[in-house]
């Protein structure tokens, strides 16, 4: 029986410039050994790497499967905090507006659409997951369409 391993990394430190060296090192060491990792990227990290001119890091990470890890990870207000103040429809809309920008930025920075969603931190509250189920289905539905986040949001029927 063959054993299959999946190497999955969260990449979410957009505050510490030196963290980019670790991101690059992990991506390169995986590539060196012929391993394709799954790297879950926070939208703000994608933007920060671009602003800092770290094409070397973006290129090294782009050799792997890119997943999406929310726009700002656990920066307040978190999803749970946002949804606690919202009803069903306005909660979905508020989060969708933020997350579509992150998805678009990750796609632009890495040249590939995120293959998966990796939830940020401890946002696994049952209430939140129930609400996200609908949104995640939209995420997978929309990824086939070319989009500008604002235009796409305007065209969605929620
Ligand atoms: Zn994380």
Q: What is the pLDDT of residue 8?
A: 87
* pLDDT for res 108: 96
Strand order in the sheet with 8-11: 8-11, 38-41, 65-68
Q: How far is the CA of 24 from the centre of ligand 1 (A)?
A: 17
Tokens encoding 71: 């726009």
pLDDT value at residue 93: 79
Q: How far is the CA of 127 from the centre of ligand 1 (A)?
A: 20
Taking the CA atoms of residue 36, residue 133, residue 14 and residue 47 in that order, the dihedral angle to the nearest 10 degrees is 80
Centre of ligand 1 from the C-alpha of residue 79, in Å = 14
Model pLDDT, residue 3: 86
Distance 122 CA to ligand 1 centre (A): 9
How far is the C-alpha of 51 from the C-alpha of 71, rounded, in Å?
16
Return averaged pLDDT per consecutive 10 residues of the chain, 158 residues in all.
Answer: 85 94 96 94 97 98 93 85 81 80 94 84 53 48 37 35
pTM of this prediction?
0.77
> According to the model, what pLDDT value does residue 147 have?
36
């Amino acid at each position: 029986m063959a054993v299959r391993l999946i190497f999955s990394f969260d990449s979410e430190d957009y505050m510490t410039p030196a963290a980019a060296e670790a991101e690059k090192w992990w991506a390169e060491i995986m590539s060196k050994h012929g391993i394709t990792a799954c790297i879950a990227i926070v939208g703000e990290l994608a933007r920060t790497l671009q602003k800092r001119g770290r094409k070397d890091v973006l290129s090294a990470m782009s050799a792997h499967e890119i997943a999406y890890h929310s726009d700002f990870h656990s920066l307040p207000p978190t999803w749970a905090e946002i949804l606690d103040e919202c009803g069903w429809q306005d909660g979905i809309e508020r989060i969708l507006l933020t997350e579509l920008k992150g998805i678009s930025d990750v796609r632009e920075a890495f040249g590939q659409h995120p293959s998966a969603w990796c939830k940020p931190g401890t946002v696994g509250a049952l209430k939140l997951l129930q609400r996200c189920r609908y949104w995640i289905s939209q995420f997978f539905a929309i990824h086939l369409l070319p989009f500008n986040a604002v235009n796409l949001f305007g065209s969605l029927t929620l």
